[in-house]
Amino acid sequence: MRQGMRRRGDGILPAKRKEETQNEIKIHNGGGRGLFGSRQGWKIRVRLLGVFTAVLLAVLPAALPGYAAAEALGQEFSGPAKAEMFDADTAGRTSAKLIYTGGVRTSSIPERRQLPRLVDDAELLDREEAEGLLEKLDEISEQQQCDVAVVTVYGLDGKTPEAYADDFYDYNGYGMGTDKDGMLLLVDMESRKWWISTCGFGIVAVTDAGIDYISGKFLPDLSDGEYLDAFWTYASLCDQFLTQARDGKAYDSGHMPKEGVSTLWIPGSLLIGLALALVVTGCMRAQLKSVRRQAAASNYVRPGSRSLRVSRDIFLYRTVTRTERPKDNDMGGSSTHTSSSGQTHGGGGGSF
């Protein structure tokens, strides 16, 4: 009996009670393996792992480079791509660029314009000039419902001016309406090249001959470093060409805007002509001192000096000269091509 008992005050318990207590401790501790060693612990571990995985999947994609820009634009990439975002520059202008290169499908084109209609990455304009030009571009674009944009860069990233201008237009969402109507003037200061990319109604309004005409007006200022005047001329002529295309026949070869004549030339020309007429007639009158007014013309005929007896006409020969009418081989219109996105563009360019 004494062997099966222990005193409570001295820590002595019945042997059976001691054994039950040890078993309870052993069960509670999972046989000495800790909380996660038991079956209940494994369930808790699986639940924590599921929560951690869910949090990781929600947070990790947003931290990946380029994912946020692609998610915001709703774009899908099928190959190497590059996205570069530049915020406001030191001059305080909104100067942003978003360019995608390589393996981009047509579905990657954003539905809305991502950048302003003036992107001056080459920093050719100061803040006041840039704000004024952007206001004019926005006014023309909204009135004509056709984007008119100007982009200046320093370097083409290994592309041709045509490819760079087309890609910049497409992948930055330029163009209004379902046909992406618009036109973009690209100026690269590194290569000293320019390009006008047209799309949608812009192809109809500004033909190949129209691009030659417009560039002939702004290139002198562009070459002389008068960048604001060059861009202003470009914008004004685009507005004129768009208006003509919507109201009537678009300007094309053989049908270009007529040069305006100053109103000062009209009175000036009349005064010069009147002065010359007075001088000439005055000189002629001074030479007729011996001539007097006669009542009839018979006084000028000598009597018996002329006697007409027979009068007849004899046909001798006929001469016919034929000149071939020149043929107009220039059909006009716009030549088009397909950009890397699959969009149809017109355009033209050169150096300055």
Where is mean pLDDT largest: 29-38, 193-202, 292-301? 193-202
Angle at alpha carbon of residue 141, lines to 136 and 146, rounded to 5°: 155
pLDDT of residue 7: 46
**Which neighbouring-strand residues pair with 176?**
181
d(CA 219, CA 193): 11
- Average confidence (pLDDT) over 54-77: 51
**pLDDT tens figures, 227-268:** 999 999 999 999 999 999 998 888 998 878 877 666 666 777
Q: 329 pLDDT band (50/70/90 cuts)?
A: low
**pLDDT tens figures, 37-54:** 556 666 677 777 777 777
pLDDT of residue 20: 52
Question: Is 94 in a helix, a strand, or coil?
Answer: coil
pTM of the model as a whole: 0.57
**Which neighbouring-strand residues pair with 193?**
188, 351
pLDDT of residue 275: 86
- Average confidence (pLDDT) over 101-115: 62
Domain at 76-256+336-351: CATH code: 3.10.310.50
Count of residues making up the chain: 352
d(CA 10, CA 19): 17
Percent of the chain residues topping a pLDDT of 90: 43
- On whether the CB atoms of residues 184 and 174 are closer than 8 A, the answer is yes
- Average confidence (pLDDT) over 79-101: 38
Q: Which helix (H) or strand (E) holds 280?
A: helix 265-286
d(CA 142, CA 146): 7
pLDDT of residue 63: 53
| Listed range (4-13, 155-164, 342-351) with the worst mean pLDDT | 4-13
- Does residue 171 carry a pLDDT above 70? yes
d(CA 265, CA 219): 27
- Average confidence (pLDDT) over 29-44: 56
pLDDT of residue 260: 62
Which segments of 60-192 are extended strands (E)? Answer: 118-120, 147-153, 182-188
d(CA 147, CA 115): 12
Sheet holding 182-188, edge to edge: 118-120, 147-153, 182-188, 193-199, 344-351, 336-338
Cα pseudo-dihedral 37, 39, 44, 47, rounded to 10: 120
pLDDT of residue 328: 57
pLDDT of residue 77: 35
